[in-house]
Structure 1
């Protein structure tokens, strides 16, 4: 279990639980189960109390793959807004589930079929609250 606290807004917590429950009706996946486990241990907070360096829904995250030195930037979104070509990453993608709740500067282990990848979070940019809810 990950000892890092996972901070999430009340609205996102509720919306993600609904999303997971709906998705689990049609498909069982390790990513969905992992996200549900992360939500179960989450610290639910008011949106105004979210620390600015925490990856949350709507955050833009600059990450580095520590094995390849590749640097990428994604905005964490709900599945209906995801578009990897536009840099919008679904929370249901394994990397999206892996990143949520971590702080800027954290090293995140990301399991892939080829083995564990290590990602470093270089920067977290929080959106305006209105953009997060769009």
Structure 2
């Protein structure tokens, strides 16, 4: 039995960032080099006008693994990815596309990366769960069910 416990703990460590605040699930995330560069610029631009959002996105960028240029991110949420996730509290499933702020349009299910849920989604891999805080302070959990890249969508 102790061997099973160790194995489970090892699996959890691989998928959840150690030391996450208040026991929140913060799985390891991966970004393409291009997304990391553009999102870093977005953080710098948003720091004066939206400091809290910029700070949250900067934290995500700091903890991300970066793929080498030219390496495909097939099952990882990138800018432009169409993805399906489940809200664990409500049990609802949604399909959205993650976009830059100027392209956001909730009526077309285009979610900005500069929203709390957009920040939570960036860099996730299919099958991972994450907890995140809504704008009104509610902590929610979502599970990424699938990802389609722009060329596949």
With over 3 angstroms needed to count, the CA separation of the structure-2 counterparts of 1:80 and 1:22, relative to structure 1, is: same
Aligned to 1:17: 40
Note if contact 1:8-1:50 (Cα within 8 Å) is conserved in structure 2.
no
Q: Specify which structure has the higher proportion of strand.
A: 1
**Highest Rg: 1 or 2?**
2
Q: Does 1:106 align with 2:103?
A: no
With over 3 angstroms needed to count, the CA separation of the structure-2 counterparts of 1:26 and 1:115, relative to structure 1, is: closer
The CA RMSD measured in Å over matched residues stands at: 2.1
Residue of 81, 91, 97 corresponding to 1:59: 81
Note if contact 1:66-1:119 (Cα within 8 Å) is conserved in structure 2.
yes
The TM-score normalised by the length of structure 1 is: 0.84
**Counterpart secondary structure, 1:56:** coil
**Counterpart secondary structure, 1:102:** coil
How many matched pairs?
129
Gaps of 5+ in 2: 1-19
The TM-score normalised by the length of structure 2 is: 0.75
**Counterpart secondary structure, 2:47:** helix
- 5 Å-filtered alignment, 1:88-107, equals 88-107=110-129
- Which runs of 4 or more aligned residues in structure 1 lie more than 6 Å from their structure 2 counterparts after TM superposition? none
Q: Quick one: distance in 1 between partners of 2:55 and 2:151? A: 29
Q: Deviations for 1:34-56, whole angstroms, at most 9, x for unmatched residues?
A: 11011123222245423311111
Q: Deviations for 1:32-91, whole angstroms, at most 9, x for unmatched residues?
A: 211101112322224542331111111111011111111111111000111111011100
Gaps of 5+ in 1: none
Aligned to 1:115: 138
- 5 Å-filtered alignment, 1:34-53, equals 34-46=56-68, 48-53=70-75
